Structure 1
Amino acid sequence: MRSYIVSGILDHQRYDPSSHSFRFKHTMLMLNTDHLESPKKLCSLISIEKTGVLSINFKNMIDATNKPIGEKIQRLFKLQGNQSKSSNSFAVTTPSVLGYSFNPASFYFVINDEDKIENCAVEVHNTFNESHLYILNSPTAGSSKSSKYTHEKQFHVSPFIGREGNYEFEFELTATYLKINITLFHNNQPIISTRYLGELIPLTRKNLFLNIRQLIFTVLLTESRILKQAYKLHFRKKLPLFNKPIPLAMTKIALSRGFISKLKIPFV
């Protein structure tokens, strides 16, 4: 498989304790890790392991080493006893823009010969300069196109909700789109759901040029969008704040640090 630009819409819905929703355009890259290790196979507008207008830095993904991303992904699942026969691995993420990066979630997939997701992991970042890896093993359900997984919530993301509950992840990958659904349940009731549906656009120089503005906007506007929604939840809807708990295993200090973690803002 080739690498892609993923251009779509992200929908977020909070059900409890107060209803709240928002949606916006969100553009990412779905990168074949073989292309990251052989930069000539990737679009020349993306810098690998060096600062550029758009760049990918290996140390910002999974761990702080500069090892190739494909090697990191395969090792991640091997350590979990879930080594794949396939070597087709992909990172779905946003690049750094002029050295700046804040990525709420990156997705790491191993895709089999039938182009279905076989193994996956989700790396989540919060505004406290932390990241956490959810390694998803043993799908609970799915179809010929999609895979579902469940995982206990282990990471403090929002100060407006506790760390209790369980996530349900659903991924669907076809030749033309990527769909991601993530729902947080507590006491069997949905609390928050996030849905993303993105069109797969082949990553060529021309297509990147046509989509580069939206990709840059996605990166640069993420933290301001977080602040805007946090303001609404705290000051308009009067949601109480949850104290940040002690981090659990698989949580680490994030090397790609956004600006919110450098500010003293009471609701983030």
Structure 2
Amino acid sequence: MHRRLRPRENAFVYPAFYVALPLDRIDRAGNALFGVDRLRPLALLTRDHGPRDGSPWRPWLQDILDRFGLGDLGTGNVLLMTHPRVFGHVFNPVSFWFVRDDDGRLRAVLAEVNNTFGDRHNYLVAHDDGRPIQAHDRIQARKVFHVSPFCAVDGHYLFRFRVEDGVISAAIDYHDAAGPLLLTAVTLTRRPLDLANAARLLASMPVMTLQVVARIHWQALRLWLRGTRFHRRPAPPMEETTR
């Protein structure tokens, strides 16, 4: 769900699917239609995330947690939620790394954001006191990264997360100086990525990741035709990760 409130309301909902992969199962994940660093119709490649050089994700994520004082959480209970490559193509507006403690409580989320210009930035979302993140919590982060030419790089985001056995949801609301501007959310029903479900996904949405890019540009065209103010792309922030 994506809803823009000003200057004219624009809202849309599109179907999509994600892979939610526990990092401790990455070496065992896969079948004839899905694989990690394998040639499959559905695939996750290590070079698409984290350091993006094909090196392991855990040291990269642990370094980020260490730098922001969350290193004690470790990376033993991390869930990556992202679009997989579909027949070799992918664009991920945002992927989420859910960091949980030994009791399974959500303690931090790394939102890995990409724009269509090839830039990326990470927002580390956690409570200042390190307490578990509850479904009703709203955690604020200052916006520092250009995503849409129809939004300035100012204001802040409010993040909300819910990670349960059957459901994962993530909501990101954007506020500028005038108040709420964008409301976005994704809600997933969790199913095993077995051969049957992988086949159903490929049959129902065979060009899903191409549609992600096409829909971004279609909605941008609609905003431009409506006369929404256009902001030029600024240089990305020097820091790869902010909190």
Normalising by structure 2, we get a TM-score of 0.89
* Residue 54 of structure 2: aligned partner: 66
Equivalent residue for 2:222, pick from 212, 232, 240: 232
* Residue 255 of structure 1: aligned partner: none
- Where do residues 1-268 of structure 1 align in structure 2 (5 Å cutoff)? 11-36=1-26, 38=27, 40-83=28-71, 84-85=73-74, 87-138=76-127, 144-145=134-135, 147-187=137-177, 189-214=179-204, 216-235=206-225, 237-251=226-240
Secondary structure of the 2:97 match is strand
Answer yes or no: is the 8 Å Cα contact 1:70–1:89 preserved in 2.
no
Answer yes or no: is the 8 Å Cα contact 2:146–2:233 preserved in 1.
yes
Answer yes or no: is the 8 Å Cα contact 2:32–2:40 preserved in 1.
no
Secondary structure of the 2:108 match is strand
* Change beyond 3 A, Cα 1:95–1:230: same
CA RMSD of aligned residues (A): 2.3
Query: Given residue 103 of structure 1, which amino acid in structure 2 is its aligned partner?
Result: N
Query: Given residue 82 of structure 2, which amino acid in structure 1 is its aligned partner?
Result: T
Shift of 1:183: 0.4
Secondary structure of the 1:220 match is helix
Answer yes or no: is the 8 Å Cα contact 2:51–2:57 preserved in 1.
no
Higher relative contact order (CA 8 A, sep 6+): 1
Answer yes or no: is the 8 Å Cα contact 1:73–1:89 preserved in 2.
no
Identity %: 23
* Change beyond 3 A, Cα 1:228–1:158: same
Unaligned runs of 5+ in 1: 1-10, 253-268
Shift of 1:52: 2.8
Answer yes or no: is the 8 Å Cα contact 2:114–2:121 preserved in 1.
yes
Shift of 1:163: 0.5
CA distance in structure 2 between the partners assigned to 1:105 and 1:216 by the alignment: 20
Answer yes or no: is the 8 Å Cα contact 1:90–1:108 preserved in 2.
yes
* Change beyond 3 A, Cα 1:144–1:155: closer
Query: Given residue 125 of structure 1, which amino acid in structure 2 is its aligned partner?
Result: N
Shift of 1:224: 0.7
Query: Given residue 50 of structure 2, which amino acid in structure 1 is its aligned partner?
Result: I
Normalising by structure 1, we get a TM-score of 0.81
Secondary structure of the 1:138 match is coil
Answer yes or no: is the 8 Å Cα contact 2:58–2:75 preserved in 1.
no
Shift of 1:60: 1.3
Shift of 1:145: 4.3
CA distance in structure 2 between the partners assigned to 1:193 and 1:99 by the alignment: 30
Query: Given residue 33 of structure 2, which amino acid in structure 1 is its aligned partner?
Result: L
Pick the structure with more strand per residue.
1
* Change beyond 3 A, Cα 1:122–1:192: same
* Change beyond 3 A, Cα 1:143–1:53: closer
Shift of 1:147: 4.5
Unaligned runs of 5+ in 2: none
CA distance in structure 2 between the partners assigned to 1:142 and 1:19 by the alignment: 35
